[in-house]
Structure 1
Amino acid sequence: MTEPFTPTIRTSAKAVVVHDGRVLLQRANWEGQECYFLPGGGQHPGEPLAETARREVHEETGLTVTVDKMLWMREYIGANHEHADTEAGTHRIEAIFHCTPEGDPDRLGGHAHDDVQTGLEWVELKKVPGLNLLPHTLRQLIAALATGQPSPGYLGDVA
């Protein structure tokens, strides 16, 4: 008999760091695939989400950023997606913020990389749709930053 489990909700903040028509992405090797992620991570108790984004960007990239505004809110409820058998207890809520670098944007090198991170890369916004950026839902939204500000909003439960 399977033991009952209590799903936990993890809140986090991600950063869309934009400079000169480019966005800063983490290169990664995740589940055997080369891919990209936005910098960011888990919220600490008592920490505002905007500060989470700022802290995580600094830890993972070495950049200090100004958090401009929240762009999107995304959920991921594991039981509703492809890996439901292993992620049924996963529920993540991510606030995704538009950020700009303070100081030299090319001085990269954080001190607390994610385990799957293999590097950092400034990518032209128009090239983002062709990348294996996870989650895929964000690719067109980020690329739209090159031509104007996409509508902020709740993206729903997306993988």
Structure 2
Amino acid sequence: MAETVTPTIRNSAKAVVLHAGRVLLQHANWEGNDCFFLPGGGQTPGEPLEATARREVHEETGLVVRVVRLLWVREYIGANHENAGTEAATHRVEMIFLCEPEGEPGPLGGHAEDALQTGLEWVELEKVPDLNLLPHALRQPIAALAEAAPQTSYLGDVS
């Protein structure tokens, strides 16, 4: 008989940091593939989500940012996706905030980078759809920020 797995829900805050028509992305190597992620990470109990976004961006990139507004809410329920066998206990709820640097961004480099992180890069918004940005469901909405300000929306359980 298969062992029953009880998922725990993990809240996190991600940041879409925009400056001069570009978005700040973490370059990473995940499961042997070069890819990109938004900066951000797990919420600490008692910490407001906006503070989580600011803290994580600073830790991972060295930037001090201002949160402008909530863009999207994304869930990832591992049991519903292709890696269900190994991620059945994964359930993440991500709040994705629009952020901007406080002042002119200088050299990048955080003091608590993610283990998978191999670098940081400012990427032009129109190039985002062609990147291996994870999750893929964010590529088009991020690129669309060059054209208009989207309404806050629930993206659903997407990978």
Q: Per the shorter chain, which TM-score range?
A: over 0.9
User: Separation in 2 of the partners of 1:30 and 1:138?
Assistant: 17
Residue 25 of structure 1 aligns with which residue? 25
Give the length in aligned residue pairs. Answer: 159
Residue 122 of structure 2 aligns with which residue? 122
Matches within 5 A, 1:18-57: 18-57=18-57
Q: What are the superposed Cα offsets for residues 72-102 of structure 1, whole Å, 9 maximum, x if unpaired?
A: 0000000000000000110000000000001
User: Separation in 2 of the partners of 1:4 and 1:94?
Assistant: 25
TM-score, normalised by the number of residues in structure 2: 0.97
Query: Where do 5+ consecutive residues of structure 2 fail to align?
Result: none
1:105 Cα deviation from its structure 2 partner: 1.3
Residue 113 of structure 1 aligns with which residue? 113
Task: Please give the secondary structure, in 1, of the residue aligned with 2:136.
Answer: coil
The residue identity in structure 2 corresponding to 1:139 is R
1:6 Cα deviation from its structure 2 partner: 2.0
**2:23 maps to 1:11:** no
User: CA contact under 8 A between 2:5 and 2:88: conserved in structure 1?
Assistant: no
Residue 103 of structure 2 aligns with which residue? 103
Query: Where do 5+ consecutive residues of structure 1 fail to align?
Result: none
**2:135 maps to 1:135:** yes
Task: Please give the secondary structure, in 2, of the residue aligned with 1:24.
Answer: strand
User: Separation in 1 of the partners of 2:148 and 2:7?
Assistant: 38
Residue 62 of structure 1 aligns with which residue? 62
1:107 Cα deviation from its structure 2 partner: 2.1
User: Separation in 1 of the partners of 2:5 and 2:30?
Assistant: 26
User: Separation in 2 of the partners of 1:5 and 1:129?
Assistant: 35
User: Separation in 2 of the partners of 1:5 and 1:158?
Assistant: 21
The residue identity in structure 2 corresponding to 1:55 is R
Matches within 5 A, 1:137-152: 137-152=137-152
TM-score, normalised by the number of residues in structure 1: 0.97
Task: Please give the secondary structure, in 2, of the residue aligned with 1:123.
Answer: strand
User: Separation in 2 of the partners of 1:95 and 1:8?
Assistant: 17
1:151 Cα deviation from its structure 2 partner: 2.3
Task: Please give the secondary structure, in 2, of the residue aligned with 1:137.
Answer: helix
CA RMSD of aligned residues (A): 0.9
